[in-house]
């Protein structure tokens, strides 16, 4: 009877030991699960903190970009839309963590308060962007007005410039000197001169004396002038003077030969000019002999004499 009682006690002790081992095993498993959940919770909360911190950094960057206007408004609109979606996603993550018991209500409220603050910041940015769009619209309108005014002023300036050029052209034409009243005579070998008709025979003509009047001009500039004279023979050749050097001058973009050159001081009063011409061959050809006078790039007068 005693042996039976001892056996029963042993069975009870063994069963209790097995139960105790089972409880210990269950506790170890649950402890591991809790440890793993805590690690996951810490990881999730750390990740959530980092993401929220990144959002805050992004929003600061957006504020700088908006202030500096270094992005197109379309890009800013797109960026804000993306941030709105990210904040909505974070709200859902916080709700999930809260419902799973991985964060408490206090922590969730802290996260939600940050998100709400960022949402308000985004709303402020949206208002600033709308204001920027309005400013840009106003600036664009002002720019169009200014461009039209500029175009109108440029047209007016162009018209005034054309009128000025036309007026200046008239003034330039009016300022051209004039040579008139040509008179020719023969200076004989003895120094006497005559303008008698018989003196203009090729065999008798010695030195041709040419006189003309440089007319007065109230709008012409005063001062020194170079006057060039061409003596053109009947065959069209330009004569060279025996006793003075000939050369070239600029006329209508070309270098043109002259026979004689005079330097005068023009004072806006009529003055009689005189010059003598004797061909290098000392002989005059028969036919019309023309005299053309040039000054300031214009031909200002001409005369002719017939040599028999």
In angstroms, how far apart are the furthest CA atoms of the chain? 193
Question: Residue 28, exposed/middle/buried by CB under 10 A (0-12, 13-18, 19+)?
Answer: exposed
**pLDDT at position 11, please?**
63
pLDDT digits (tens, 9 = 90+) for 201-221: 888 888 999 999 999 988 888
**Identity of the highest mean pLDDT range in 141-145, 186-190, 195-199:** 186-190
Range in 106-110, 169-173, 180-184, 284-288 the model is least confident about = 169-173
Question: Residue 284, exposed/middle/buried by CB under 10 A (0-12, 13-18, 19+)?
Answer: buried
pTM: 0.50
pLDDT digits (tens, 9 = 90+) for 93-130: 778 877 877 777 877 777 777 777 777 777 777 777 77
pLDDT digits (tens, 9 = 90+) for 116-174: 777 777 777 777 777 777 776 776 676 677 667 667 766 766 776 777 676 666 667 77
pLDDT digits (tens, 9 = 90+) for 256-276: 999 999 999 999 999 999 999
- Residue 3 banded pLDDT, cuts 50, 70, 90: very low
Q: Are 83 and 58 in contact (CB under 8 A)?
A: yes
CB 114: neighbour CB atoms within 10 A? 18
**pLDDT at position 218, please?**
86
**pLDDT at position 305, please?**
93
Cα torsion 188, 191, 192, 193: sign: positive
What token pair was written down for 139? 């600036």
Range in 94-98, 197-201, 246-250 the model is least confident about = 94-98
pLDDT surpasses 80 at 287? yes
226 - beta bridge partners?
A: 263
**pLDDT at position 243, please?**
78
Share of the chain above pLDDT 70, in %: 67
């Amino acid at each position: 009877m005693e042996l039976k009682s001892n056996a029963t006690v042993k069975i009870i002790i063994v069963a209790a030991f097995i139960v105790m081992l089972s409880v210990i095993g269950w506790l170890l498993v649950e402890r591991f699960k809790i440890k793993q959940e805590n690690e996951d919770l810490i990881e999730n909360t750390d990740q959530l903190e980092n993401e929220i911190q990144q959002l805050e950094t992004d929003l600061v960057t957006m504020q700088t970009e908006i202030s500096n206007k270094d992005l197109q408004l379309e890009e800013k609109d797109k960026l804000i839309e993306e941030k709105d979606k990210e904040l909505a996603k974070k709200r859902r993550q916080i709700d999930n963590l809260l419902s799973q018991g991985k964060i408490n209500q206090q922590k969730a409220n802290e996260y939600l308060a940050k998100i709400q603050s960022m949402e308000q910041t985004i709303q402020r940015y949206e208002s600033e962007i709308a204001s920027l769009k309005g400013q840009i619209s106003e600036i664009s309108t002002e720019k169009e007005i200014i461009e039209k005014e500029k175009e109108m002023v440029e047209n007016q300036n162009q018209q005034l410039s054309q009128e000025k050029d036309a007026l200046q052209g008239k003034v330039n034409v009016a300022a051209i000197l004039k040579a008139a009243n040509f008179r020719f005579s023969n200076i004989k070998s003895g120094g006497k001169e005559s303008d008698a008709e018989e003196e203009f025979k090729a065999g008798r003509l010695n030195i041709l004396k040419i006189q003309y009047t440089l007319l007065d001009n109230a709008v012409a500039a005063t001062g020194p002038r170079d006057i060039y004279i061409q003596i053109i023979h009947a065959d069209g050749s330009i004569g060279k003077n025996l006793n003075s050097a000939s050369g070239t001058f600029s006329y209508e973009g070309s270098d043109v030969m002259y026979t004689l050159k005079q330097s005068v001081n023009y004072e806006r009063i009529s003055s009689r000019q005189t010059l003598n011409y004797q061909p290098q061959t000392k002989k005059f050809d028969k036919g019309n002999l023309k005299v053309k006078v040039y000054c300031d790039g214009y031909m200002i007068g001409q005369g002719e004499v017939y040599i028999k």
